[in-house]
Chains A and B, each alone.
Chain A
Amino acid sequence: MDPATLTPDALAALEKAGFSRRDFLKGTGALVVGFTMAGGGGKGRAHNPALDQALDVPLNQVDSWIAIAQDESVTGYSGKCEFGQGFRTVQYQLIADELYVPRERITLIVCDTDLTPDQGVTSGSQSHPAEFGPNGLRQALATAREALFQMAADQLGVGVGELTIQDGVIFVTKDPSQRVSYGQLIGGSQFNLLVNPDATPKPPSQYTVLGTSVPRYEIPAKMTGQFEYVQHVRVPGMRHGKVVRPPFPGSSVVSVDESSVENLPGHVRVVVRGDFVGVVADKEWQARQAAMALLVTWSEGTALPNQQDLYDYMRKQPSRDSYTVLAPDVDQKLKEAAFRVDATYLCPYHMHGSLGSSGAVADVRGSGPKGTATIWSASQGVYPQRDSVAMVLGIPKENIRVIFVEGSGCYGLNGADTVSFDAAVLSQEEGAPVRVQLTRKDEMAWGESYGPAYIVDLRAGLDDQGNITVWDYEGWTLTKGNRPNADNPGNILTGALVGFPTPPLIPGGGQPPTSYNNGSNADSSYGAGCVADRCGGTGNIESERILLHTIASPFFTGPLRSPGRLQNTFANESFIDELAAFAQADPVEYRLRYLTDQRLKDVLNSAAEAASWDTRPSPNPKNPPTGVVAGRGIACVLYEGNNGYSALVAEVQVDQDTGVVIVTRFVTTQDSGPVSNPDGLRNQMEGGALQGMSRALREEVMWDAQKITSIDWRTYPVFHFGEPLPVVETVLLNRLDTLQMGAGECTITLVGAAIANAIFDATGARVRQVPFTPARVLAALALRG
């Protein structure tokens, strides 16, 4: 490792740990890492050809996760990182609790392909399940703690049960003068232990640090401008790059007139690689000017489907089909039903809309087997990025180091990976470090992998009592690309621009399911989810058919906070409400008829009670048909079938003359098992509620015949300061006897349906198309009898 490329934290940790990380990795059995301690500033890692068997930091070794130095300091390593969701602080809390050490002694190093275990991507509300699960940091900590206990017992000549642990010191309970510290036991040495699957983590009921609202460690630095985001990485010799994107999706480079920038200041370099075009200059301002001045001739783009007809278009395309549930009696039950209710729900493309446009710094030297690269990236997945950048650069992945540095909140696959590719390509041409930050337009039109549009058709049969006998879901969505990986650098824009194919959608599928997987919440909360003699759902409706058609998208798509789950839950939680109204039942009581999962019932009841839910059918019979009226709506879900129980009440005001909807209050209950940091969880719930409101009321990616037209905050309006701010009340259920689950995407999943249900309650009008613009609300009001 080149010390100049290590972050200050990593350097400090290495010094404190008292041994070289490289030495550890080389010395651990057959595992070797292909790098050496190269000196000199600003250089990438030197490749040692003798170490060609390069492998990653092994997940099953305790030493991959923890190091303890002679001075008692503890260094933790993890592949899960901080995106503003507060997880870094939770990791400190976890180490403090499991190892009984004060926070001040802990250093945490995360998401560095040279130093940390590969835990995949930080996303999907998986940080808690992963870190607290059998293959994460917690199990390694428990193994280490038990090993330290045993070492202490051996050294002090007593049984393990006679020892107490406190502040990194283990002492004989009955004679505290008999004591030994971690530093004395192991400081500076390796554990040389496999993570023990039978080691017992601390029970949540005994937590003293977890479970408390420890203030987030990096917030003071963020509030005082000291915090270094990826956009602030500055390395010696760094120059500045800007990209020049095609004007239209599908456009190719015809010619580039380099003379158009040759007289501009800043030693401008023009880079063209396939359809990737960029410039590099001494200063960012100069690069910006050059990018604006560069004359590029592009070919015509590909024809885009008419946005007005998008949903009709989607239904007609060849699709890849998959069933979540396929009961054999659905059509028959629909025919036999006393009543039949049908509804269609529509969600547009949404973007992540990160506040800060994505940025990255890359330091690439050379190409081929001797090339090296270091990339500072805000990617959610430094390992897949490393593997895919290797393809883009033609450099072995063993010679590439990707270091996570926090960027602007990403909410999924924003431009972080694309801009890392941009910087890498420019740097490779430059032979020196290059920083790239995208313009607002480049981020929105050419950096994003949008959350795709959805159509959900729902059909239910009811008996003559208004009870549901059959539930039939048919959905359509779109896909193009995804997160980049070694097999598909073309999954994201820049990979495609430099010439890697984006995997095409292959129509087909449609086989009956063999096991139940409700990862996209296509099955509602009320479905029994019975597949192959096992029912995995949270409800009791057994006659279900859940069929999703996925078609090719004209625009790149990727995970956006609560991907698919949000759109499906909007549909399902609106629909159950429509059925409740049909049956003239209270929305909460009606849901409870079909829920079997007790924890889901608990959050539903909790949110209703906390909101002082007015128990009666919707719509409110007292509301007049004109003027401003108030309403309440509710929604509930078990996120992706197994990862967070959530319920949300929305209270709205609807101006029936203008169609304007104002949310006045949200009340939401969350059950994600033991709560790691109550205030941190509340922060996520509050943010998710408001971000969900922005998506439900405002957001929609727009395009014309040739190009995306949502290119800034005027053309992609979002909820902003100045608008009426709802009160957000949060209720946490702290389930100490259950497994840790995620939470960051639960609240947002429920907002669309809760608001739509509240609008219905207020007015009797049903909005089924996101966003609920005033025009759409007025149209729904006009349809009332």
Chain B
Amino acid sequence: MSITLNVNGASYDVDVDPQTYLLYVLMEDLQLNGPKFGCGLAQCGACTVLLDGGPIRSCLTRVSAAQAPHEITTIEGLGTPENPHPIQTAFIEEQAAQCAFCISGPMLYGKVFMDQNPNATEAEIIQALNGLLCRCYAHGRMVRALMHYGQGVRP
């Protein structure tokens, strides 16, 4: 069945079973690398994308629920190595990763939270990321990166 997805500012028609979880479509049909399969159970956050600006777990969201006119944003949609988004710059400057497989969770949940709470404390940031997993445990650097991003966001 043909489904239209708005992803990172562009529109795509994909021929998929509408019951397919969004992550599979993003990875396979749209060949995106940002959201990743960590657990398929919404327990880790590796699959996180923004749906109309809010973070969702694409591993358990049906593609039909995310189709146009909804807007999907993956970390690819934020910026590129040549032209990174300020949050990506913050993560790069803090070297806030080891394997970085988890990155979509902390970065996207973090972005949404910091955009709304640029003055958040470290404890508040940690709470905002509650439940997300990073098994290499780059937690400290990620929290620092988000604090720096918040400093840039403040008016």
Partners in one complex: yes
Choose from A84, A225, A357, A718 the contact partner of B33 (Cβ within 8 Å): A225
Counting CB contacts under 8 A, is B102 at the interface?
A: yes
Task: Give the residues from 112 to 133 in chain B that come closer than 8 angstroms, CB to CB, to chain A.
Answer: 122, 126-127, 129-133
A684 to chain B, nearest CB (A): 8
Most A C-beta atoms less than 10 A away, residue of B46, B101, B130, B137: B137
**Minimum CB–CB distance for A261 against chain B, Å:** 15
CA distance A223 to B33 in the complex (A): 11
Query: How many residues of B are in contact with the other chain, CB < 8 A?
Result: 59
The residue in chain A whose Cβ has the minimal distance to the Cβ of B39 is A440
* A27 contacts the other chain (CB 8 A): no
User: Is the pair B81, A221 in contact by a Cβ cutoff of 8 Å?
Assistant: yes
A273 interfacial by beta-carbon distance below 8 Å? no
Assess the B138–A687 pair: CB atoms within 8 A. yes
Quote the shortest CB–CB distance from B53 to chain A (angstroms). Answer: 18
Which parts of B60-83 form the interface with A (CB within 8 Å)?
74-76, 78-81
On whether A232 and B27 interact (CB within 8 A), knowing A221-B81, A686-B138, the answer reads yes
Q: Is B3 an interface residue (CB 8 A)?
A: no
Q: Is the CB of B103 within 8 A of A357?
A: no
Per the bound structure, the CA–CA distance linking A711 and B84 in Å amounts to 37
Asked whether A231 is an interface residue with its Cβ less than 8 Å from the other chain, the reply is yes
Q: In the complex, which of the residues A683, A694, A725 contacts B98, with contact meaning CB atoms closer than 8 Å?
A: A683
Contact partner of B39 among A689, A712, A721, CB < 8 A?
A712
- Identify the interface centre among A216, A219, A723: most chain B CB within 10 Å of its CB: A219
Bitwise interface map of B from 13 to 34 toward A, beta carbon under 8 Å scored 1, else 0: 0001100110010011001111
* From A222, A284, A288, residue with most partner B Cβ within 10 Å: A222
Task: Please report the C-alpha to C-alpha distance between residue A718 and residue B132 in the assembled complex, in whole angstroms.
Answer: 11
Once the chains bind, are A720 and B39 in contact (CB under 8 Å)?
Answer: no
A285, A684, A718: the one within 8 Å of B20 (CB): A285
In the complex, the answer to whether A694 meets B137 with C-beta atoms within 8 Å is yes
Contact status B31-A234, CB under 8 Å: yes
Chain B residues with CB below 8 A from A283, complex form: 16, 20, 24, 28
Question: Is B127 in contact with A722, judged by CB distance below 8 angstroms?
Answer: yes
B152 at the interface (CB under 8 A from A): no
Q: Does B51 contact A (CB under 8 A)?
A: no
B40 touches A439 (CB 8 A): yes
Closest to A440 in B: B39
User: Knowing A721-B131, A721-B132 touch, does A215 contact B137 (C-beta < 8 A)?
Assistant: no
A720 touches B40 (CB 8 A): no
Contact of A670 with B by CB under 8 A: no
Contact of B101 among A408, A680, A689, A724 (CB under 8 A): A408
Alpha-carbon gap, A402 to B107, bound state (A): 33
Give A724 to B129 CA distance when docked, in angstroms: 12
Knowing A231-B36, A690-B139 touch, does A223 contact B131 (C-beta < 8 A)? no
Contacts A223-B107, A224-B88, A356-B46 known; A721 to B97 CB distance under 8 Å? no
B78, B98, B139: the one within 8 Å of A409 (CB): B98
Q: Is A193 an interface residue (CB 8 A)?
A: no
Q: Is A520 an interface residue (CB 8 A)?
A: no
Q: Which of A84, A219, A359, A727 contacts B136 (CB 8 A)?
A: A84
Contact B135 A353 (CB under 8 A): yes
| A–B complex contacts, Cβ < 8 Å, 26 sampled | A84-B98, A220-B92, A222-B97, A224-B80, A224-B88, A226-B33, A231-B37, A234-B31, A283-B24, A283-B28, A284-B28, A285-B20, A286-B17, A354-B101, A355-B46, A355-B133, A408-B99, A409-B101, A409-B136, A683-B141, A686-B141, A690-B140, A713-B41, A713-B133, A714-B43, A723-B126
> What residues on B are CB-neighbors of A84 within 8 Å?
97-101, 136
Pick the residue among A223, A406, A721, A722 that contacts B92 (CB under 8 A).
A223
The reply to whether the CB of A773 lies closer than 8 angstroms to some CB of chain B is: no
* Interface pairs A-B: 6 shortest CB-CB: A84-B99, A225-B34, A722-B130, A690-B137, A409-B99, A225-B76
Binary contact readout A68-107 vs B (1 if CB under 8 angstroms, 0 otherwise): 0000000000000001111000000000000000000000
In the assembled complex, the Cα of A229 lies from the Cα of B104 at a distance in Å of: 14
Query: B125 → chain A, closest Cβ, in Å?
Result: 9
A298 interface residue, CB < 8 Å from B? no
Contacting residue for A722 out of B46, B99, B129, CB 8 A: B129
Contact between A223 and B75 (Cβ–Cβ < 8 Å)?
yes
Which B residue sits closest to A714, measured CB to CB?
B43
Residue numbers in B under 8 Å from A353 (CB-CB): 135
Asked if B44 is at the interface (CB within 8 A of a chain A CB), the reply is yes
* A223 in contact with B88 (CB, 8 Å): yes
Shortest Cβ distance from residue A311 to the other chain B in the assembled complex, whole angstroms: 27
CA distance A679 to B36 in the complex (A): 27
Give bound CA distance, A231 to B82, whole Å. Answer: 24
What's the least CB distance linking B67 to chain A, in Å? Answer: 15
Q: Does B134 contact A (CB under 8 A)?
A: yes
B54 within 8 Å of A (CB atoms)? no
Check if A224 sits within 8 Å of B36, measured CB to CB: no
Whether A227 is near chain B, meaning CB under 8 Å from some CB there, is yes
Contact with B along A725-753 (1 / 0, CB 8 A): 10110000000000000000000000000
